Amino acid sequence: MKVDLHSHSYYSDGVYSPAEVVELANQVKCDLFSLTDHDTTDGLSEAQQRADDLSLNFTPGVEISAFWNNRTIHILGLDININNDTLQKGLRQNQELRKERAEKIGLGLRRAGIKEALDKTRVLSKTGMITRTHFAQMLIREGYCKDMKSVFRRFLTGKKPGSTIVEWSSFEEVIGWIHAAGGHAVIAHPFRYRMTQTKIKRMFSEFKEAFGDGVEAITAMSSEQEINLCSNWAKDINLLISSGSDYHGWPNQRINVGSLKEVPKSDNLIWNHLSWQR
């Protein structure tokens, strides 16, 4: 089974349209695919339509920003009903927080001598959603940095001028929105938060206590060791495991749709719990 349950279109910080991303998943013969834009479901009807045309198994998804232990944690909502009011109300709240944050990042960058940062960033967004990736792209275009990695390090994280802290909603709240929409809640890329293993395990437990469903054990960046560790921790506390490339379509990123490591033998795979079978 080739399952990719994490990807982005230009409705958030991806490069391609939802239809184009679905076409890529079809080309590499995904058995099941999901589009999971940041804090919006606006690209899903286009994606679903293209998937139906191609007879590709598709499940609607979203990647929601949540706040746990003073940091941003991404939670995937998989197999969601996009017409659910509770979910949409939560997503609108996050979209509002994003707008406020964009203003703050713009001010921070101005203090660092970068003029009209927000205006210059806005024009890079095809759909109005502003992510830090858009700021990063702007800073690279304007010649402040040469690549994504250095731009995040020099401008957008830690104590740097364009860094901000957003108090997104808690695990309980975000999981509640996803469940209200009939979806499954999954912690995205658990090894990307710069946390110790002890802390990651604590995050898993608290996620489980908040009725979360699973963790993304297999990503494009995972080592074999990380996949095994994560799958074992998940199994110990009865969380399901998921698999996703986090494809954005950026150049030089070397991540393609469906480019994932082997899925370990396991009886707690999330795709056996989703309603996608044709």
Residues at the interface with ligand AMP (CB under 6 A): 13, 38, 65, 131-133, 148-149, 152, 248
Min. distance of Cβ 107 from Mn ion in angstroms? 23
Q: Please report, as ranges, the residues that interact with Mn ion according to CB under 5 A.
A: 13, 63, 74, 188, 246
**Can you list the positions of beta strands (E) in the chain?**
3-4, 32-33, 61-68, 71-78, 184-187, 214-219, 240-244
Min. distance of Cβ 272 from ligand AMP in angstroms? 27
Q: Which lies closer to Mn ion via its Cβ, residue 221 or residue 237?
A: 221
Q: Which lies closer to Mn ion via its Cβ, residue 32 or residue 187?
A: 187
Min. distance of Cβ 244 from Mn ion in angstroms? 8
Min. distance of Cβ 271 from ligand AMP in angstroms? 22
Min. distance of Cβ 149 from ligand AMP in angstroms? 5
Q: Which lies closer to ligand AMP via its Cβ, residue 38 or residue 50?
A: 38
Min. distance of Cβ 248 from Mn ion in angstroms? 6
**Beta carbons of 5 and 270 less than 8 angstroms apart:** yes
Distances (CA, A) of 55 to 104, 110, 226, 260: 44, 49, 33, 22
Name the binder of 79 from ligand AMP, Mn ion, none, CB < 5-8 A by kind: none
Q: Which lies closer to Mn ion via its Cβ, residue 74 or residue 120?
A: 74
Q: Which lies closer to Mn ion via its Cβ, residue 62 or residue 229?
A: 62
- Give the integer Cα–Cα distance in Å for 206 and 201: 9
Q: Which lies closer to ligand AMP via its Cβ, residue 1 or residue 166?
A: 166
End-to-end CA separation in angstroms for the chain:
15
Count CA within 13 A, CB hemisphere, residue 235.
Answer: 12
Name the binder of 50 from ligand AMP, Mn ion, none, CB < 5-8 A by kind: none
Name the binder of 148 from ligand AMP, Mn ion, none, CB < 5-8 A by kind: ligand AMP
User: What residue number has its CB nearest to ligand AMP?
Assistant: 131
- Give the integer Cα–Cα distance in Å for 236 and 239: 8
**Beta carbons of 37 and 30 less than 8 angstroms apart:** no
Name the binder of 145 from Mn ion, ligand AMP, none, CB < 5-8 A by kind: none
Min. distance of Cβ 195 from ligand AMP in angstroms? 15
Neighbours of 242 (CB within 10 A): 29
Q: Which lies closer to ligand AMP via its Cβ, residue 160 or residue 235?
A: 160
User: What residue number has its CB nearest to Mn ion?
Assistant: 74
